[in-house]
Amino acid sequence: MLSEDKRQQEPLVEVKHLKKYFEVKESGGVKRKKKVIKAVNDVSLTIYQGETLGLVGESGCGKSTLGRNILRLQEPTDGEVIFHDQDILTYNKKQLRQIRNKMQIIYQDPFGSLNPRFTIGQSISEMFKIHGLYTPKEREERTKELLELVGLDPNRYHSYPHEFSGGQRQRVGIARALALNPEFIVADEPVSALDVSVQSQIINLLMKLKKDFGLTLLFIAHGLNVVRHISDRVGVMYLGKLVEISETDNIFDSPAHPYTAALLSTVPDPNPEKRRERIVLEGEVPSPASPPSGCSFRTRCPLATERCKQVVPELQEVRSGHFVSCHYPLAKGQTLLDAIKEKQTSKV
Q: In the prediction, which pLDDT does 271 show?
A: 64
Distance of CA 109 to the CA centre of its chain: 15
Q: In the prediction, which pLDDT does 8 show?
A: 54
pLDDT in tens, the chain (348 residues): 444 544 455 899 999 999 999 988 776 655 667 889 999 999 999 999 999 999 999 888 999 999 999 999 999 999 999 999 999 999 999 999 889 899 999 999 888 889 999 999 999 999 999 889 999 999 999 999 999 999 999 999 999 999 999 999 999 999 999 999 999 999 999 998 888 889 999 999 999 999 999 999 999 998 788 899 999 999 999 999 999 999 999 999 999 999 999 999 887 766 666 666 778 788 788 888 888 999 999 999 999 999 999 999 999 999 999 999 999 999 998 989 889 888 888 765
Compute the 3-state secondary structure of the chain and give helix, strand, coil in percent, each to the nearest 5. Answer: 35, 20, 45
Q: How far apart are CA 18 and CA 35, in angstroms?
A: 19
How big is the CA angle at 209 (ends 125 and 1), to the nearest 5 degrees? 145
Q: Please give the model's pTM, rounded to 2 decimal places.
A: 0.92
Q: Identify the structural domains of the chain with CATH numbers, from first to last.
A: 4-102+182-347 (3.40.50.300)
Contact 182, 190 (CB under 8 A): no
Contact 108, 193 (CB under 8 A): yes
State whether the Cα torsion 337-340-346-348 is positive or negative.
negative
DSSP state letters, 241-292: EEEEEEEHHHHHHS--SHHHHHHHTTSPPS-TT------PPPSPPPPTTSPP
Q: In the prediction, which pLDDT does 31 show?
A: 63
Q: What are phi and psi of 92, to 5 degrees?
A: -85, 180
Contact 2, 247 (CB under 8 A): no
How big is the CA angle at 316 (ends 307 and 338), to the nearest 5 degrees? 60
